[in-house]
Each structure stands twice: as structure tokens, then as C-alpha cells.
Amino acid sequence: MNEHDQKNLKRFEELAERARQSSIYTYSSFHSAETAALAYEVAEENEITMWGGTENAERVVVRFGDPKEIAYEEDYPIRILYAGPKQEKFADHLTHRDFLGAILNLGIERDVIGDIMVTERSAYFFALEELAEYICSGLERIKHTAVRCYTVEEVPPDCLPKLCEENVTVSSPRLDAILAKVYHLSRGEAKKLFEAEKITVNGRLCKNPETVLKDNSKISARGYGKLEYRGEEHTTKKGKTGITIWRYV
């Protein structure tokens, strides 16, 4: 385990213990699926929930605390922000990198920000509640474009990732074979994703390329995307397996 993961693991352990001792929910900052999965090493499954501001978010906040023990619910400390040009006709074409760079230039850390969903010249993004007002007041320009930034109640549906159903045939129902087929990799390249700890299944780190998935499993492959395994459909005459997946695009 590298130094970065050790630091996050220690922080998760502190949050989990505080939740148990004080009977309150405690929250992490935003993390990738792989880092968030470390939470299961310091807490039981019933003590952990994750949310990134929308269903299937790439970056999530980990909440510690057993709802049955705490006996109440509360919102995650996440706000949805919109940033867009003050004058559309003078706006640059802006990318994910442009928005992220401008936000980080305000002097905040990456883990304050969740997913960023970019349209041609504007973006919706998630931020920790404690710094939302600071970001809104400070984010005035991205590249050469003057922008305004404010909180909103929801992300428009057409800006959210969309599910695309695909039917594929794989040589084996093993996870490495599925990833190789879906992302056009060799089996060796797919196995390296497991060695690099880039694969999570249902929020947990997966190190075994031979894993056989249960129906409706959610898989995240860092650098490639997310998909849902819906199950086997048929077996071909040559012994291959037809499966259905939903891929996020």
C-alpha cells in the first residue's frame, strides 16, 4: 500500500471510530472508487454508505455510521454548483480540464470536488458544502471567459451519464475476459488493471481477474469507465458466453 492510501486509510479509521463513539454520521472528502473501497478495511458494510451527488458518480463521499444505531437520516454535505459564461457569444469552448484547473487555482484541494459534467461552454459539478460559497464567490474566469458560478438544486438529466445497453460474446464469464472484450484490451492488459488496483466491483476493490460476477454487479475500471453486468443470456455453439451489460457513456 502506497503512502497516499495509508493516509486515507488512517483518516477512514478515525472517521469510523468517531461515528461509533459519538453516534453521529461522519463524512470523508471526495474519493475515487478505488480509494473509497479502502473504507471496508476499517468498518463493517452496515456502517458505510457512499454518495457522489448523483447515481453512479465517479467520485464519492464516504459516510460512516450505522443508520440503525444512529436512528436518523441526514443529507450528505454536498452541493451542486453551476459555472457558465456571463456572455455566451464571447465564451471559449471549455473542457473538463479547464474547469478543474480554474477551480483548483482558487487554492483548494482536489478532494473537495466531485464529478464535473461539462457541456460546450458550461459545467455542473459537485463540491463539499463547506467550500461551496467560497468557490462560487471566487470562480470568476476560466481561460479568457468571464463566468458566473452559483448553487443549483439538480443537474439537468441531459447532462448526466447515460446507460447504453450492449450484448457481447466473451470467451469466459470471468471479469478479465469481460473487461478485455468491452474495452478492446488483450487479456494481459486487462489483468494489469487488477494488478494496478484499478478495478472495483460494487464499491469494493477487486484484485482477482478470475472473478465471476453476480447479475446486476457494478464495475468501475479507472481510466476506462463504468459498467453494469446484467447477466448471461446464452451459450454459443462454440462454447462462448453471451452477456448483457449497461455501459455509462
Could you tell me the CATH number of the domain that includes residue 39?
A: 3.30.1370
Q: How confident is the model at residue 101, as a pLDDT? A: 96
Tell me: do 86 and 155 sit in the same domain: yes
Tell me: do 59 and 12 sit in the same domain: yes
pLDDT tens-digit profile of 219-247?
Answer: 999 889 889 999 988 888 888 999 999 98
Q: How confident is the model at residue 120, as a pLDDT? A: 82
Question: What residues pair up with 59 in beta bridges, in sequence order?
Answer: 32
Tell me: do 124 and 84 sit in the same domain: yes
Do residues 157 and 202 make contact, with C-beta atoms less than 8 angstroms apart?
Answer: no
Tell me: do 155 and 167 sit in the same domain: no
Average pLDDT over residues 21-41: 95
| Nearest residue to 4 (alpha-carbon basis) of 109, 116, 78, 107 | 109
pLDDT tens-digit profile of 46-62?
Answer: 999 999 999 889 999 99
Average pLDDT over residues 170-185: 92
- Which of 136, 159, 182 is the endpoint of a domain? 159
* Segments forming the whole domain that contains residue 55: 3-70
Could you tell me the CATH number of the domain that includes residue 183?
A: 3.10.290.10
Q: Rounded to two decimals, what is the model's pTM?
A: 0.85
Euclidean distance between CA atoms 177 and 193, whole angstroms: 12
Q: How many domains does the chain have?
A: 3
Could you tell me the CATH number of the domain that includes residue 95?
A: 3.30.70.330
